[in-house]
Amino acid sequence: MNYQSTRNHRQSVSSTQAVLQGLAPDGGLYILKDLPGLHFDWQSVLSLDTFGMAEKILSALLPDFARMPELVRRAYTGKFSTDELTPLAAVGQDYVLELFRGPTSAFKDVALSMLPQLITAAREQEGITDEIVILTATSGDTGKAALEGFHDVEGTKIIVFYPDDGVSAVQKAQMVTQEGKNVCVCAVRGNFDDAQTGVKNAFSACENQGLLAGKGVRLSSANSINIGRLAPQVVYYFKAYADLVRRGVIAVGDKVDYVVPTGNFGDILAGYFAKAMGLPVGTLVCASNANNVLTDFLHTGRYDRRRPFYKTVSPSMDILVSSNLERLLYLLSGCNDEEVAGYMEQLKTEGFYQVSDQLLDRLKGEFWAGFCDDAGTKQTIGQVWQNHGYLCDTHTAVAWNVAQQYRAAVSPSHPLVVLSTASPYKFPVAVLTALGQTPPEDEFDAMERLRELTGVEIPKNLAGLRSKQAIHTDVIDRDDILPYVLDKVSRKNW
Ligand SMILES: *Cc1c(COP(=O)(O)O)cnc(C)c1O
């Protein structure tokens, strides 16, 4: 029983159970009991290839999984455009860690390729015969990455709900053309909140009223509170470090700073896990867009979600409640579950909390934070292209901008690795505008125009989309999500 809830250490489970459950019953997040206590031999993984690294790191973080090498192979073989999965590009005096070379061109592929393997393995090991049905509401990137991960995975089915007027044309095309005998995609009239609320309500109705009892199915979710989504992200911090050693930029033991475009705090928390496992991480730089709740928090120790919500050109970071922060608070408070439960209760009831001075000191020792608005984001895309001939997407540009703020403020002596979370072709209209062009209305035309202008290749999965047939055409109201789910799970074949 090596995992426990951040809100109550007595709520403890195995890593297989943690992956199957997602959220702990008390609303807390599952976390490994003693991360530094793993005594992970971090130096020995630096000489391995990415697959080998993933096996060792995931086996350490999720110790109850019996066949990790096989799960890693199944998750990643042939899915990414390169076997190293996450290449490191030198750009100017910095480094860009490209996390978008997977099947949907967003960094969520790294974790969502692995999660289905972990869920099915956990299901087998725990002797569960029920089919696992994944329900997900998406604002764009997660839905497609989850569909790619789960399609045709034995013992699972997946239903993705997306807001009818809340995703880009490219994102919609990515989802409604998804093939696979166990997948279902449905539009919900309204915005992302409508879709998410409808899905949450469906979840709790099924649980509380036992609507699925005896039907041979159980519901699960693919969002980033699941430890099975977080753990695979730890690997690329090691991979980037090993690349810098191989290139002679650093010696083993030297520190590296990582700059992370942050929304739900999953990606950057994985960097903190890597550090806790021994990797010589210097500072973790938290980069936000105009929704800068985390910048304020890391400066003042006060987390306050009572603020305006901005729709930005980096939509995957438009978040006011960063769920994974809870795990960091737990670790930095010395695993004080009562303290964490108190903060989370206050956030829920009053909309804010203020951490102790001691905790704030610790946060400041590990993290640096900055933000960048849409104008800055676009300006950065233009500058990086002009100065370095490197084309980056809007989320990466936020991180690049904050990396330069960090350099100006701190003059760091370590190399900077900027995490790049999406292909520029996922956001072609914003990127074209940033390059001073007037984008065509049609997003696919914009993609083509961006290619002509820059000569950067369009990822295959995006280039082929336009000619693909839409398979999923259902559109429903938010209040019909529950009956829709119940109808779906009652049918054997989709
Ligand atoms: C999800 C996402 C992020 C934010 O990652 P978190 O783990 O939520 O902090 C950043 N960029 C892109 C492109 C994303 O899809």
pLDDT digits (tens, 9 = 90+) for 65-114: 999 999 999 999 999 999 999 999 999 999 999 999 999 999 999 999 99
CA-to-CA distance for 172 and 164, rounded, in angstroms? 9
Please report, rounded to a whole number, the percentage of residues in the chain having pLDDT higher than 70: 100
Q: What region does 210 belong to: left with phi over 0, alpha with psi -120 to 50, or beta? A: left
Backbone angles phi, psi at 190, to 5 degrees: 125, -160
Above 90 in pLDDT, residue 266?
A: yes
When mean pLDDT is compared across 90-104, 125-139, 390-404, the lowest value belongs to 125-139
Concatenating the DSSP letter of every residue in 182-210 gives TEEEEEESS-HHHHHHHHHHHHHHHHHTT
Q: pLDDT category, 351, cuts 50, 70, 90?
A: very high
Q: What is the pLDDT of residue 194?
A: 85
CA atoms of 450 and 320, how far apart (whole Å) = 32
The minimum-distance atom of ligand 1 relative to the CA of 426 is 13
Which pLDDT value is given to residue 224? 81
Mean pLDDT of 122-137: 94
Say whether pLDDT at 257 is over 80. Answer: yes
Dihedrals phi, psi of 158, to nearest 5 degrees: -140, 135
Report residue 34's pLDDT band, with 50, 70 and 90 as the boundaries. confident
Average of per-residue pLDDT values in the chain: 95
3-state secondary structure of 288: strand
In the predicted model, is pLDDT for residue 365 greater than 90?
A: yes
Closest CA to 157 of 128, 137, 133, 178: 133
Measured CA to CA, the distance from residue 343 to residue 340 in angstroms comes to: 5
Q: Could you identify the atom of ligand 1 that is nearest to the CA of residue 142?
A: 15
Instruction: Report which residue type is found at 142.
Output: T
Dihedral-angle region of residue 420 (phi above 0 means left; psi in -120 to 50 means alpha; beta otherwise): beta
User: How far, in Å, from the CA of 310 to the mean position of ligand 1?
Assistant: 16
Confidence of residue 223 (pLDDT cuts 50, 70, 90): confident
Contact in structure between 135 and 203 (CB atoms under 8 Å): yes
For residue 404, count other CB atoms closer than 10 A to its CB: 19
pLDDT at position 169, please? 87
Ligand 1 binding site (Cβ under 6 Å of any ligand atom): 106-108, 141, 224, 261-267, 316-317, 395, 421-422
Note the pLDDT of residue 168: 85
Residue 165 reports pLDDT greater than 90: no
Distance CA 350, CA 360 (A): 20
Catalytic residue (one of 33, 56, 79, 108): 108
* Residue pLDDT, tens place only, 181-211: 999 999 999 888 788 888 888 988 988 888 9
